[in-house]
Every structure is written in C-alpha cells, then in structure tokens.
Amino acid sequence: MNGDTPAREFEIIERVFRRASGRPDVILGIGDDAAVTRLSAGHELVTATDALVCGTHFATDAPPHSVGYRSLAVNLSDLAAMGAEPHWASLAISLPAADDDWLESFALGFFELADKFDVDLIGGDTVCGPLAITVTVQGSVPEGAAVTRMGAQAGDGIYVTGHPGDAVAGRLLLEGELSGGHDADADSFLTRRFLYPEPRIAEGLALRDVATAMIDVSDGLHADLTHLLTASGAGAELDVSQLPLSGELLELVGESQASKFALCGGDDYELCFTAPADKAEAVAKLAEAVGYPIRRIGTVAAAGKIDWQLHGRHYEVPAAGFRHFG
C-alpha cells in the first residue's frame, strides 16, 4: 500500500485500509514508499510473515470477514509463540477484481482482530492477480527474552493450550467432508474454531518467563512438536490420553478420531511449549486465569525418538501433518 499504484488502487487503499494511527510508535504509516516506526529502548524486533492462498488456505466461497481475520490471526500466533507483543502489520493483497463488498468485509474482519491487540496497519501493496493475502506482523520483546524452539531440556513437561483438533473438524464440516452432529451449536462452535482462530497473545506473554521452548500449532500438534524437539536436539515421551479434546469434538467424531484430528489436523493456532518442573504451578495458575485447559501431554527426553503411548502401548501417529510440498 506504499509506492506507485494506479488511481483505482489508491482509491481502494484510501477508502478501505487507511485509518488514523492509534499507536504513538508509528511515525509514518500508509501513504509513502515505506513506513517508519519507533522501537522502545531495550527491546528487540520480532517479525513474522504468512500467506493465505485461495484454494489452499481458504475456499473460494469463504466469508471474506473470516479471511481478513484469519490472515492476521495466523501471523499473530507466530508472535505469541515467541512471547512477543504485537505492534504493526503490513498487508499485500492480490485480487482477481476489485470487489467492493468483498474488500469491505475483509477489512472489517482484519481490523476487528487488529483493534483487539492494538495492531496498526502501516503499509503493504494491492495488485491484480489470483486471490492471495500476505501479512507481515512486527512486535517486540525485551532484549534476550524471545522464546524459541531450541531451549527444551530433558525432564521438562510438554504442554499444549486449548483444544487441538477442533479446527480441522470445523474445516471438514464446512467442506462437507464430515457430517454434522445432532447439536447444531456444537457444529457452529467447531466451524468457528477454523474460521476465527484465537491467537494466544496474552498466554505467550505470560509464558515468556515460564517456557523453555515454544511453537504455535499450525500444521498439526505432532508435526509442530517434532519441529520444536528437533530444534532442541531432544526426544519425548507422550501420552495420547492426555490430549485436551473438546466435548464438541468428542461428541462429533469419538475419541479415536478426535485424537487423530488433534495430532495431525492443523489450523489450531494453539501454543505447544516446554517448561521445567518448578514452573508447573505457574502453568496451572495461567490455565485457571484463561479459563481453558493448558494440559501436560508428556516429558522431554534427553535425545532419541518421539514416543507416543496410549494405555501403556506405543501409538503410531497416522500422519505427519500438513505440508505444502509433501
């Protein structure tokens, strides 16, 4: 949304995306060749970028309000996993045509979440092409405080927030690949978990002094936990029966399928993290404060394999999670 654009693109930017900045650290936002922001002394910049492509990340008939919301949510989730406080976002959007109604609904969804976390849209680009959205978010952490994937230590507990598996059930319901249950409210709950994921920003900030390693669950709990453990040079012993499955998911597909959804489904945008034994009380207090489970599902091992168990027997994870080129 910076730089040279034809008149129609300028009009879209001005009408749909330009807003008065609400943050004092934005010196120059939308309207010039680049944005200018100010980072507080003693803090480090944290940057994340994700793209959402029509047909891959959302359906052609997906509600544009949800697409706008999700395009920001998936990026904020990455900041949450680093224990970072979000500040700014830029948006590059490719559109087959300038559909005013679609754009306005998209922007409403985007700004609904941006306002919730005090994020300013400071720039980007608007072009004609296949429908795709790329968002970059920037935030900050105190110097040396970012939580990475590399710090898990043998003996640490392994935890996951919320209810993994709900989002993939919601997506399959929307796509007609999964039949709805008897409870329409439960089906609506699950579809909303896919359409409107909740980035765990407050939880990530609270875990900054608790977690030794952390990752957000976007490609499936097993796949993302594997990334964390590989980065930490560690293995793990895990218990499938400890997965925090929601009542709505269990009612819809049963425990066996719900466990597979939780391990391999993706799109949950929950946090998976490790923490030493002396931080267990802090994790329990955080779970009580947020009002949903933060469940210990296993223990970090010094090295070697990642071993899932169910009722004392080895459990073979049925899939490796989502891969774009797999």
CA 326 to CA 323: how far, in whole Å?
5
CA 225 to CA 216: how far, in whole Å?
9
Tens of pLDDT, residue by residue over 136-166, are: 999 999 999 999 999 999 999 999 999 999 9
Q: Average pLDDT, stretch 184-210?
A: 97
**Is 3 a residue whose pLDDT tops 50?**
no
Predicted structure pTM score = 0.91
Average the pLDDT over each of 10-14, 73-77, 249-253 and give the range with the smallest value: 10-14
CA 195 to CA 63: how far, in whole Å?
8
> What is the gyration radius of the CA atoms in the chain, in angstroms?
20
Tell me whether strands 213-217 and 120-128 are parallel, antiparallel or unpaired: unpaired
CA 309 to CA 306: how far, in whole Å?
10
**Is 325 a residue whose pLDDT tops 60?**
no
CA 67 to CA 59: how far, in whole Å?
9
Per the structure block, which two tokens stand in for 94? Answer: 């490719």
Q: Average pLDDT, stretch 254-276?
A: 96
For each of the domains in the chain, give its residue range(s) and CATH number, in order of start.
7-142 (3.30.1330.10), 157-314 (3.90.650.10)
Which residues have a Cβ under 8 Å from the Cβ of 101 and sit 6 or more positions away? none
Beta bridge partners of 91: 124, 135
CA 239 to CA 258: how far, in whole Å?
14
Q: How many CB atoms lie under 10 A from the CB of residue 161?
A: 28
Question: HEC states along the chain?
Answer: CCCCCCHHHHHHHHHHHCCCCCCCCEEECECECCCEECCCCCEEEEEEEEEEEECCCECCCCCHHHHHHHHHHHHHHHHHHCCCEEEEEEEEEEECCCCHHHHHHHHHHHHHHHHHCCCEEEEEEEEECCCEEEEEEEEEEECCCCCCCCCCCCCCEEEEECCCCHHHHHHHHHHCCCCCCCCHHHHHHHHHHHHCCCCCHHHHHHHHHCCCEEEEECCCHHHHHHHHHHHHCCEEEEEHHHCCCCHHHHHHHHHHHHHHHHHHCCCCCEEEEEECHHHHHHHHHHHHHHCCCEEEEEEEECCCCEEEEECCEECCCCCCCCCCCC
Pick from 121, 14, 33, 48: nearest CA to 269: 48
Residue 324's pLDDT is 38
Q: What is the residue whose two structure tokens read 């359906």?
A: 59
CA 15 to CA 212: how far, in whole Å?
44
| Amino acid code (one letter) for 146 | A
CA 166 to CA 172: how far, in whole Å?
10
b/e per residue, 89-114, with b = 16+ CB within 10 A?
bbbbbbbeeeeeebbebbbebbbebb
Residue 15's pLDDT is 60
CA 64 to CA 277: how far, in whole Å?
44
Tens of pLDDT, residue by residue over 83-108, are: 999 999 999 999 998 888 999 999 99
Tens of pLDDT, residue by residue over 12-64, are: 666 666 666 678 999 888 888 899 999 999 999 999 999 999 999 999 999 99
The pLDDT-based confidence of 304 (bands split at 50, 70, 90) is confident
The pLDDT-based confidence of 1 (bands split at 50, 70, 90) is low
Dihedral angle at the C-alpha atoms of 4, 96, 48, 265, nearest 10 degrees?
180
